Every structure is written in structure tokens, then in C-alpha cells.
Amino acid sequence: MSSSILTLGPYKHRKDLTRESVLSKYEILGYIAAGTYGKVYKAQGKLKEKRKNEEDSIPSKLYAIKKFKIESNIKPNLMDNEVINYTGISQSAIREMSLCKELNHKNVINLIDIILENKSIYMILEYCEHDLLQIIHYHSHPEVKPIPIKNVKSLVWQILNGVLYLHKNWIFHRDLKPANIMVTESGVVKIGDLGLARKFNNPLQSLYTGDKVVVTIWYRAPELLMGARYYTPAIDLWAVGCILAELLSLRPIFKGEEAKFDINNKKTVPFQKNQFLKIIDILGIPNSTNWPSLSKYPEYYSFQQMVAGNSNLNTTNNLLNWYKLIGGNNKACFNLLQDLLHYDPNKRVTADNALVHDFFSEQPKTLIDNAFDGLNLKYPKRRIFTDDNDIISNSGRKVFNDSRKKVRQI
């Protein structure tokens, strides 16, 4: 046995001790959200040294730390003890990290660092105090306070600007929705959560093969509902159209119920009939005139059955009526909405053409880079939770353990 093998263990231990840990660089203030991927924490950078002739309370930057769950399975061994086998990190986490390392744009969330510690991976991201879901909720509760059209204009322009950057770099997001659109306190929009994002240049196989279901149901484009095996960045523009409609009406425009997978056949994706019906209610039944390739999609038979079984379906496009019903009166805004919500992905406006749409050049003018320009209100800061934390240092120390402090704002 070589000496290099004998010293590998001690070398790795020494390396681990010298590597900077999450807790040595950041103070964890609480967690913002939790999901199947793990948790996102709000953190504050630790200052290495205090500046001379300044007060002790020097402000330090805020960060969002995304901790991915450890992929593992537990099996009993012959001695009836549990043995944990680590199976690695999820595919979506690998994609998100690899893509974020290459991206650099003012309207896409910025990756600061990646830290590997205690078999866990942490993405250190710039922190944004708001997201569109939170902003929409503020404007709709407890009483309705419409978002001024010039602020809607800035929000949507910045989203499109970030989407264009992604598409120019052969990336589509595949999960654009209000909860994934961050906004800084200075009104700069940042597209976040690239867990479902994929590069689409020269794919070796159908994107459907790797990810049969993409985009949260309310923002899922018609071609995806029709089972498209190959699709284009137009799916992101449909989602932007849904977001624009939600900013105007303060509620989702197509709020359907997702059909769940059959527990006995999880390989077959169910046809999303309810969601399609919600779209038809406003846009009418698609046909070979407004969507020439409709009959070529895998779910065309299911679509025909749905139409045949509902004799009272809306046959005409009622988007203009919907727009007037919510109080919309800006013609250019409606035209952009219509361009984004075409059934046919080939007719849907692209991100670069949308950015030069008349809606953004007409009055009222707005500061494109400040979505809060002229707003006489202050959005509440994110709630953070301090009842549970699973960031542990190499010494086994947790950051906070006071379960009495369940929610706070910082």
C-alpha cells in the first residue's frame, strides 16, 4: 500500500479545516423559503476588520444563500445500524450552478460564490428584498391598489431585457413566474431560480426526454400543454405575457388546476384539460387558422375530445373584453399583451422585438431601470423564519436555535 493512500485521509481533513466555511463568511439571519430543493437563507456578510474612525455598526452586504438538500438513501446494515449512502446532487442544482457561473447581466440574479461543506452545496447569491409575487399581493390586499402603468412598464421591460440576455446565450428559463422575478430595493428586476433552465442550442435529444413537465401550470404555454417534444424560447414569452396580465389585474389570468400524474403510471404526462379550458375562456378555441401546426402535437387527440365534450366553449378571442373588464385603457399595452399571448409560438413576439414595442416608447415615460420610480409607498421587507436552521459548521454548531422567534423582519 502506497504512502500517498495512507496520507489521503489526514490531508483531506487538513484541507477541510483550512477551507472557509459558510458560517465563517456569513451571519445567517433566517430562512426565506423552503422547497423540494432545500432552503434559501437571508445572510449578512461578516466584516473581516473594522474601519478606523467609524462606528462599530458598519453596514455589510446582504446575501441569499441557497442550500441544496443532500441526495441520499438510508439502508440498514448487518449490525442493524443505519448506513447513509450519499447519491450526489440533483440534476437541477447542477444545471443552476453551471449556468449561473456563466451569466452576468443586470437583470439576472448574480451568483457570488459556491461553497461545498459537510456534503452540502451552497449557492451564495445577491439578495433582493422583494419579488413580484410579494408586490402583487401588497397591491391586492387588503384593498386593491393598482400598480401604475409606468411602473408596470418598467417591470416588464426589465424582465424582457433579462429574458433577451438568456435567449441570446441559448438559454431558456422554463419557469418564469412572479415568485421567480426578484426586485431590489432600488427597483432593479432580477430573474432568479434557474433550476429548470436549459441550453437549447444543438440538443442531443428531445428536451422532453429529460424534463417532461416544465413551467408552473398557470404560466405554461399552449404548445407545452399540447405535449410538444421540441419547443422554442417562445415558451418564456408566453409566461411573460401571463406575468404582464397579472401585474395589470393583480391576479393570474389563467388560473387552472393541474392534473396530477397517475400513481400507477408516472411515465405518462396527463393532459392538462382544466388549464387549457381557462385559456380558451379568454382566447377562444385554437384552430388551424390561428395555429397552423395544431394538429401535429401529441395531445391533439385529447384536445379534440375536450372540445367535443364541451359544446359551450368560447369560440372567439375575448382578450380585449378581459382587458377592458380589469380597467385597462392603454392600447399599446393591450397590443403587447396580445403579441405575447399568441397561440402559435411562431407568431408570438420575441424578446428583442418586444423591447422596442410602442408600449415602452409612448407616454407616460418611466425610468426603465427603476420599477419603483414615483411610487409613494414602501413595500414590506421579506419575512424571515428563525425556527429551523440546518446550516452546520465543521464543528457541528448550528447558527440559531431559539424556536421562540419564529418570524421576524430585518
Catalytic residues: 175
128 vs 47: CA distance, rounded Å: 20
| Beta-carbon-side half-sphere exposure of residue 47 (alpha carbons within 13 Å) | 10
For β-strands 407-409 and 383-385, DSSP reports them as antiparallel
- Tell the residue number behind the cell numbers 430543493, with chain if given: 37
Does residue 364 have a cis peptide bond before it, meaning omega lies within 30 degrees of 0? yes
Query: Three-state SS for 240?
Result: helix
21 vs 16: CA distance, rounded Å: 9
* CA–CA–CA angle 39, 388, 113 (5° rounding): 35
Name the residue among 72, 157, 159, 154 with its Cα closest to residue 118: 72
Task: Assign 3-state DSSP to the chain and report helix, strand, coil percentages, each to 5.
Answer: 35, 20, 50
Name the residue among 201, 231, 191, 190 with its Cα closest to residue 214: 231
Name the residue among 304, 295, 307 with its Cα closest to residue 344: 295
Determine how many CB atoms are found less than 10 A away from the CB of residue 351.
21
Determine how many CB atoms are found less than 10 A away from the CB of residue 274.
14
Contact 128, 180 (CB under 8 A): no
Query: Three-state SS for 147?
Result: coil
